[in-house]
């Protein structure tokens, strides 16, 4: 895939969240690549879920690339982070959103330069910041997202997801691929066109009555497996708030698919691409060609090697 094609792919959505399966998956490399390649043609609004963008990874101690933004970019970050960057600042909005590192401030970079991100950690606040970006003239908002399971919630705040994964996730390549596939599968669950009745008095009762149900909390194996065994779950629909609420084993997901049960979510987002880093921060690495080939065969979206293609 050429750079131009990838850029086009990523510009299809108005708001994007970059999420990682693990540390050192290449999240920041991806973000910098994006800023360098798309930030000059449009106004990007940039923030993060919580603190990110430190120059050494606090968990593994490896050197991490800082975030380098082009002039014109809008940045939402905590007040204490402002002096750690070196862009020329124009302060635009004080949001009143508190973080442990001070209030979240929205500024415009009046020069190129490094920034440190520490945005809001609550979904509603992220949405609010995103909205303000567009009010201030942004054409696309990018959220430097969370890690691990939490990042499944990213689709609450963005309509496109860039998923970063890599050898740091697990020593077994099989496991990395399996979980990445599963992640994509959950992330790409279709959006529910209509909301079925809420299962307030138990899933079983609701399904018997309506044949479909909205589950406001988590959807777990212990809820689904007995209903699969009893034969009650056949056809119909299960709707959850967002993919992070689905705590089902891949095996259970397969069974639901066989029984033609539609699993849907309230909000919709889609995976735009998967980036992989074949080198682990913990010392091991995968054969990059094998790893990328296998990943490409397993997921439906473009797969990019952060170490080579984005360098």
Comparison of 23 and 108: residue with beta carbon closer to another protein: 108
Comparison of 110 and 208: residue with beta carbon closer to another protein: 110
Using CB under 8 A as the binding rule, the residues of this chain from 113 to 132 that contact another protein are: 113
- How many chain residues interact with another protein (CB under 8 A)? 19
Q: Which residues contact 13 (CB under 8 A, 6 or more apart)?
A: 140, 158, 159, 160, 270, 272
What is the contact mask toward another protein in residues 39 to 78, using x (rule: CB under 8 A)? --------------------------------x-------
Using CB under 8 A as the binding rule, the residues of this chain from 255 to 294 that contact another protein are: none
Residue 84 contacts another protein per CB under 8 A: no
Check if the beta carbon of residue 125 is closer than 8 Å to that of residue 94.
Answer: no
Q: How many residues are present in the chain? A: 311
CB < 8 Å & 24+ apart, contacts of 173-176: 173/286, 173/290, 173/291, 173/294, 176/21, 176/286, 176/291
Residue 82 contacts another protein per CB under 8 A: yes
Comparison of 117 and 246: residue with beta carbon closer to another protein: 117
- How many angstroms separate the CA atoms of 225 and 137, rounded? 49
Residue 86 contacts another protein per CB under 8 A: yes
Q: Choose the stretch contacting another protein; rule: CB under 8 A; options: 45-53, 99-107, 168-176, 180-188.
A: 99-107
Comparison of 85 and 160: residue with beta carbon closer to another protein: 85
Residue 296 contacts another protein per CB under 8 A: no
Would you give the distance in Å from CA 113 to the centre of its chain?
Answer: 25
Q: Which of 83, 174, 194, 222 is the binder for another protein (CB under 8 A)?
A: 83
Q: Choose the stretch contacting another protein; rule: CB under 8 A; options: 15-23, 104-112, 157-165, 237-245.
A: 104-112
Would you give the distance in Å from CA 207 to the centre of its chain?
Answer: 31
Residue 204 contacts another protein per CB under 8 A: no
Comparison of 20 and 113: residue with beta carbon closer to another protein: 113
Residue 108 contacts another protein per CB under 8 A: yes
Residue 112 contacts another protein per CB under 8 A: yes
- Least distance from C-beta 46 to another protein, angstroms? 17
Binding site for another protein (CB under 8 A): 71, 79, 82-83, 86, 88-92, 94, 103, 105, 107-108, 110-113
């Amino acid at each position: 895939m050429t750079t131009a094609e990838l850029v086009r792919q990523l510009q299809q959505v108005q708001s994007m969240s970059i999420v990682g399966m693990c540390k050192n998956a290449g999240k920041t490399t991806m973000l910098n690549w994006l800023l360098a390649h798309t930030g000059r043609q449009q106004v990007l609004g940039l923030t993060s879920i919580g603190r990110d963008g430190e120059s050494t990874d606090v968990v593994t101690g490896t050197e991490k690339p800082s975030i380098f933004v082009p002039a014109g970019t809008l940045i939402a970050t905590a007040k204490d982070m402002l002096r750690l960057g070196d862009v020329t600042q124009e302060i635009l909005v004080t949001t009143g959103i508190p973080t442990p590192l001070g209030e979240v401030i929205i500024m415009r970079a009046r020069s190129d330069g490094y920034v440190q991100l520490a945005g809001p950690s609550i979904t509603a606040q992220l949405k609010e910041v995103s909205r303000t970006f567009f009010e201030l003239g942004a054409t696309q908002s990018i959220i430097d997202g969370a890690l691990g399971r939490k990042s499944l919630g990213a689709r609450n705040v963005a309509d496109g997801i860039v998923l970063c994964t890599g050898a740091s996730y697990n020593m077994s390549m099989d496991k990395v691929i399996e979980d990445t596939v599963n992640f994509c599968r959950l992330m790409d669950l279709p959006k529910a066109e209509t909301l079925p009745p809420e299962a307030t008095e138990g899933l079983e009762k609701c399904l018997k009555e309506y044949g479909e149900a909205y589950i406001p909390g988590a959807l777990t194996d212990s809820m689904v497996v007995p209903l699969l065994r009893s034969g009650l779950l056949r056809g119909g629909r299960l709707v959850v708030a967002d993919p992070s609420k689905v705590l089902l084993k891949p095996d259970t997901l397969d069974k639901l698919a066989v029984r033609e049960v539609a699993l849907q979510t309230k909000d919709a987002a889609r995976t735009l691409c998967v980036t992989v880093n074949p080198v682990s921060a913990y010392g091991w690495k995968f054969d990059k060609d094998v790893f990328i080939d296998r990943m490409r065969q397993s997921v439906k979206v473009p797969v990019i090697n952060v170490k080579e293609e984005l360098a």
